[in-house]
């Protein structure tokens, strides 16, 4: 088993290792996990972390106390807002999608629904550039996107983005609860 420390450093911070990463090093980590998945799983399980795989990505999970579940639900709500914003920006936003921050900023100026969603994402940010920069920073930090081209500022959405899509797809609200949600 190679790269145990490097993999730990990425995944222990809540990050992802994606198969379509631009980084050759991250691709190497992904391939190493693919090759020896059971060994890596057992290794990290020994310290209370569970190596989980999705459709082209890996991440850690932990057994959580009820207090931690509430924190996770709050984080999920934040990601639902992010996802709603991104899918409003472009319905094809997902793994493999290429975008530039400037394009999102322009679209916010042209689309009232997107402008409204942008204003609700980060209460401390008022300018569109600030909102987009903070969102991109969050997505990058989590390992959902990587900068593909430094010159023109193009970003690529990684396969780890499926994690968010799948998480949100799993959320169902019963009709009884739906009637109680204020609009």
Four-way CATH pick for 66-176: 1.10.10, 2.60.40, 3.30.460, 3.30.70: 1.10.10
Strands 154-157, 50-53: pairing kind: unpaired
- Spans of all domains in the chain: 4-61, 66-176
Question: CA-CA distance, 107 to 90, in Å (whole number)?
Answer: 10
At 166 the pLDDT is 84
At 17 the pLDDT is 94
At 73 the pLDDT is 76
At 181 the pLDDT is 52
Q: pLDDT (tens digit, 0 to 9) for every residue of the chain, 183 residues total? A: 899 999 999 998 888 999 999 999 999 999 999 999 999 999 999 888 999 998 899 999 887 665 666 777 777 788 889 999 999 999 999 999 999 999 999 999 999 999 999 999 988 888 999 999 999 999 999 899 999 999 999 999 999 998 888 878 777 554 554 455 555
Residue pair 161/144 in contact by the 8 Å Cβ criterion: yes
At 71 the pLDDT is 75
At 175 the pLDDT is 52
Distances (CA, A) of 46 to 39, 40, 50, 51: 11, 10, 9, 11
Distances (CA, A) of 155 to 104, 106, 130: 12, 16, 17
Q: How large is the greatest C-alpha to C-alpha distance in the chain, in angstroms?
A: 52
Q: Distance of alpha carbon 89 from its chain centroid, rounded?
A: 16
CA nearest neighbour of 116 among 81, 90, 92, 140: 81
């Amino acid at each position: 088993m190679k790269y145990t420390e490097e993999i730990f450093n990425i995944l222990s911070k809540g990050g992802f290792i994606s198969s379509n990463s631009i980084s050759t090093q991250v691709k190497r980590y992904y391939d190493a996990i693919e090759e020896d998945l059971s060994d890596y799983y057992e290794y990290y399980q020994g310290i209370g972390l569970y190596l989980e795989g999705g459709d082209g990505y890996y991440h850690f999970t932990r057994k959580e106390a009820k207090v931690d579940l509430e924190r996770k639900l709050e984080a999920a709500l934040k990601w639902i807002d992010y996802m709603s914003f991104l899918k409003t920006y472009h319905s094809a936003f997902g793994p493999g999608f290429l975008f530039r921050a400037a394009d999102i900023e322009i679209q916010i100026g042209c689309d009232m629904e997107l402008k409204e969603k942008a204003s609700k994402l980060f209460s401390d940010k008022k300018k569109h550039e600030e909102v987009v920069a903070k969102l991109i920073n969050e997505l990058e930090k989590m390992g959902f996107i990587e900068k593909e081209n430094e010159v023109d500022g193009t970003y690529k959405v990684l396969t780890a983005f499926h994690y968010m899509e799948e998480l949100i797809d799993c959320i169902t609200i019963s009709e009884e609860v739906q009637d109680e949600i204020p609009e």
